[in-house]
Structure 1
Amino acid sequence: MAEFDALGRDAFLDKYGFGPAKKYTLWYEGRPYDSKAIVGAAFGYLPGKPKPLTSGEFTGGTATVVSLLERLGFGFADQPSKKAQANPPWTREQALLVLDLYHRHGGRDPGADHPDVVEMSALLRQLASDAGTETFRNPNGVKMKMMNFRSLDPAWTSKGGAGLKGASKLDRALWDEFYGKRQDLAVAVEAIRQSALATMSGDELDEVLGYKAKEGKVSYRYHRTLERDPKVVALRKASALKQHGTLACEACGFDFQAIYGERGTGYIEAHHTNPVHAMVEGDETTVDDLALLCSNCHRMVHTAKPWLTLEQLRELVASNPAG
């Protein structure tokens, strides 16, 4: 489809030797494609790079081409259906989620059936539903977007590799914005996933400290809930990244990404520093009330009462010869 868009319909059909679709027009993101020609050309993109299928080597129609494409989530109509027209261009939030998925797979094509791709498709649909809009980002569409990003990735293009040629202006802008900034991307994606701020530009990060989460009367169980408040935690991480450029434990300096690589990207735990007994009805939690700690330091804070303050924890770490 990306090649079809790049060449134009007439040149694409001429290149692969197909005539125009007479009945079964494939619709994707509001645009029409000649279904049999798309399937024949797509055969040449399979692993091993076989020759594309010619028009005479297979039949079209409902039993073959239409059945195959419908199983992949595509739709057909003589005119654009309301469903096809309702599928809007990719938003920043949607594209960021897929960009993060692309990096987590190291630029490799996971296939439309991969659980991560299927889950992403479901997430994109849910986000659109929550916003009161419609979108139909099926797994194949997610995979194609990942491969669009690969066409921008010098780790692949510098070695002669390639992705799809359908990268949009938005794709290019996001790639440039987050290139070499995996931590920033991971935190932005966490915020999107938790229905927090979708874009964490410089101006918005300046407003991080203005975010407040209203609590009510606090118990120990609720204190733990506050530590997991996704909105405050995501914003606290973003604030730390802006200030320090990394997510390191505030007590011992442990950096999950430095030790665990991609698996540790964007990960660190949050500790609510306000004493539970001091909180009363109507108190609010801001990002200043959270400390970012590694799992070990966080566990040591809560292992016995009275809980350690952040300063006491730092002193304990510093006084240990092994530290």
Structure 2
Amino acid sequence: MANISFTRDEAILALDVLHFADKLRLNKESHEIAELSELLNELPIIPLSARCENFRSKGGVNGQLSKFRSSYNKGKKDPDVGTIFYEVADEFDGRKDELHKIARAIRKNCEFFKTATFGSELEGEDFPEGALLYHLHRVLETRDGRKIVRAENCEICHLNLSEIYKPTPGNFLQCHLTVPITELNSSKHYAADDFITVCPNCHTVLHRNRPWLTKDDAGKILF
């Protein structure tokens, strides 16, 4: 079985190690590579059934980073390196600290992620912070947001969907957690002040907007 391609989450974690480790001594025996290899094996992004025997081994992880670093510094792309490495590196060029915050948030919530399950389609894989933090965000929105008394109108566009879709019962508005993705804590329960009530359209736009908007700034998605 061939080794499956790296995901966005894995590339974020790996590039964070590359940025902040001592590159002169980074090899398959260094503790940074060993720790990264162990972490990638613990995270449930890739199903066990899809993993080969040497899945994300120390040698494999180190090889990806070494080849990436060598080719990227020359402005080239190594065919043996996952394209996601180059995409993430270009996206966060000059923003290493921001990448580090994302990697740190993934690590901080690692115990939660170990119990998470993903379907055949990795929901949120195109989320800038990766599928893991997207999954955590949605879990917290559902877990804590369902206890929130929702407004009658979307707090962004002010539409009242219950009035628009009168024949159809139910509350069409959703609760959006405004806490920045990199500050999420899986063990914390979020209060009403951390949420806003939005329609599905505005909710989708808020999830795509960067930088992540606070509760006070959420209305800025409208022109």
Q: Taking CA–CA contacts closer than 8 Å with sequence separation of 6 or more, which of the two structures ends up with the larger relative contact order?
A: 2
TM-score normalised per structure 1:
0.34
The TM-score, its normalising length taken from structure 2, stands at: 0.47
The structure having more radius of gyration, on CA atoms, is 1
